[in-house]
Structure 1
Amino acid sequence: MGIFNRVKTIVMADLHELLDKVEDPISLLNQYMRELDEQVEKAKETLGHQLYLEKRHEQLVAESLAVVAKRTHQAELAVEKGEDTIARIALQEKLQQEAKLKLYQEQHAAMKQQTSALREQIDVLLEKYNELSNRRLVLISRAHAAKAQEQLQKAVASFSSDNALKGFRRVEDYVQQLEAQASAASYFIPSVPTVNLEIQEAVERELALLKESKE
């Protein structure tokens, strides 16, 4: 089957060697999977056409058997009635149909063998397709994880702890300056003397006594 030549090339080739020769091996791998998808679709079409032909020849065999049986019965009736001419015609058509029947049966048997062989090839194709599809998913996942790790390592490598510490120190100095300015501003706020109620009452009593002594 010519439709499987490309599949066989993809499956049997050393993919690692091919992938090493391109800048973007993931793209090449995706291209291989697209080609495999096309081959799977062609295999479906081929199997469908093969099953149609097999079914058609199965019908031809059944139709030929029915015609042979019918002409045999007609010839027997004609002989019973003494109608030899009609019997000869029926027998002639019977023999012609039996020749076709033999051809149809041989073709049907050959087609069944072809269908069986085609199914085996398709089973191999699907098995390899599923295997490569799963491997593709795993490889793409690993590639993405590796790229993410590489980017993280680059970010860590570009990060400068000295610059970060200097930045924190500048912020700390700024905050300390703000705190010092706030403390200085509070120093210049006039203090309000606190009023002692007991002293105030004593003052009022003394004032009253002083006024009485003057009278």
Structure 2
Amino acid sequence: MGILSRASYVIRSKINSVLNRAEDPTETLDYSYEQMRDQLQDVKRGIADLTTQKKRLEMQKKRLEENVDKHNEQARTAVEQGREDLARRALEKKKTKMNQIEDLDRQISELQNQQDRLIEQKDELQTRIEEFRTKKETMKARHEAAKASSSVSEAMTATGEEFEDVGRAIERAEEQTEDMEARAAAMDELHESGAFDDVLSDKDSIDRELESLSTDSGVEAELETLKSDVGVEESTADPDAVDEEEIEEVASEVDDEEIESELAELQDEENE
């Protein structure tokens, strides 16, 4: 096979492949059915035309037969009147008409045979068309059913893939939600433990504890000083047993301004 032949073969193959993909079987079947119907109409028109020609010949034959009868009468009349010459001429015309009638009979017979064959072909073609129509509708129904089934299968496949995507999206959403919930719980825990304060301050836990102890010691020292200044000594006795008059006497000896000053300093230290 030469290069040009191979190229031509490849091109035809590709064109045929493209046509096969673009072809709609149902449209092809409908087109074939219409073509067969057109052929049937052509056959019917041919039968009608042939029948018309045959009828014309039959009408012409009928007129010739009438002329034959007329020439018979003419010949008879001429003989009765002693005119053999006229009788001979009438018989000659009769003979010509008889020959024409015989020729018309042959033509009419041929046309009749053709008409019979065309009618048989028409009936056979019509039967085939009806059979093809039944097969065509069956094939179209099967094709549509297969097409619908394929569409449903494709839709189900697409739906399954979409469901998988939705499932994965739900899983990711759950994971993100759990991460956010865990982070929020961790933040609350860190906030309650004071870890955020650690971040904002340069002091560690030991510094804060020592500072707390120093503050407590200062408060206690101030309290002892205050108690010493006001003349109050620690006692294990019940406070309710102290004489009220003695308390009033001690309180009167303490300067009010001094007490207020001490209380103000104590409050400032607590605020710090």
TM-score, normalising length from structure 2?
A: 0.50
Is residue 58 of structure 2 the alignment partner of residue 68 of structure 1? no
Shift of 1:50: 0.7
Identify the residue that residue 125 of structure 2 maps to in structure 1.
Answer: 125
CA distance in structure 1 between the aligned counterparts of 2:159 and 2:28, rounded to whole angstroms = 35
Identify the residue that residue 95 of structure 1 maps to in structure 2.
Answer: 95
Identify the residue that residue 199 of structure 1 maps to in structure 2.
Answer: none
Greater CA drift, 113-122 or 21-30: 21-30
**C-alpha distance after superposition, 1:13-72 (max 9, x if no partner):** xxxxx9xx8332333323322321221121121111011011111112211111111101
Which stretches in structure 1 are left out of the alignment for 5+ residues? 1-17, 171-215
Select 1:22's aligned residue among 8, 20, 23: 20
* Alignment CA distance shift 1:134-1:32 (3 Å): same
> RMSD between aligned alpha carbons?
2.4
Q: State how many pairs are aligned.
A: 149
CA distance in structure 2 between the aligned counterparts of 1:50 and 1:38, rounded to whole angstroms = 18
**C-alpha distance after superposition, 1:116-158 (max 9, x if no partner):** 1111111111111111122111111111111111111111222
| Matched letter for residue 89 of structure 1 | R
Shift of 1:159: 1.7
| SS across alignment from 2:20 | coil
Identify the residue that residue 202 of structure 1 maps to in structure 2.
Answer: none
CA distance in structure 2 between the aligned counterparts of 1:69 and 1:31, rounded to whole angstroms = 57
Decide which structure has the larger Cα Rg and report it: 2
Identify the residue that residue 59 of structure 1 maps to in structure 2.
Answer: 59
CA distance in structure 1 between the aligned counterparts of 2:96 and 2:52, rounded to whole angstroms = 25
* Alignment CA distance shift 1:22-1:30 (3 Å): farther
**C-alpha distance after superposition, 1:161-181 (max 9, x if no partner):** 5638x88xx9xxxxxxxxxxx
Identify the residue that residue 47 of structure 1 maps to in structure 2.
Answer: 47
Mapping 1:1-215, distance limit 5 Å: 22-23=20-21, 24=23, 25-160=25-160, 161=163, 163=166
Which stretches in structure 2 are left out of the alignment for 5+ residues? 1-15, 174-272
Greater CA drift, 99-108 or 34-43: 34-43
TM-score, normalising length from structure 1?
A: 0.63
CA distance in structure 2 between the aligned counterparts of 1:79 and 1:90, rounded to whole angstroms = 11
Greater CA drift, 57-66 or 93-102: 57-66
CA distance in structure 2 between the aligned counterparts of 1:112 and 1:37, rounded to whole angstroms = 24
Shift of 1:89: 1.6
Identify the residue that residue 198 of structure 2 maps to in structure 1.
Answer: none
CA distance in structure 1 between the aligned counterparts of 2:124 and 2:144, rounded to whole angstroms = 30
| Matched letter for residue 158 of structure 1 | A
| Matched letter for residue 140 of structure 1 | K
| SS across alignment from 1:82 | coil
CA distance in structure 2 between the aligned counterparts of 1:134 and 1:152, rounded to whole angstroms = 27
| SS across alignment from 1:69 | helix
| SS across alignment from 1:149 | helix
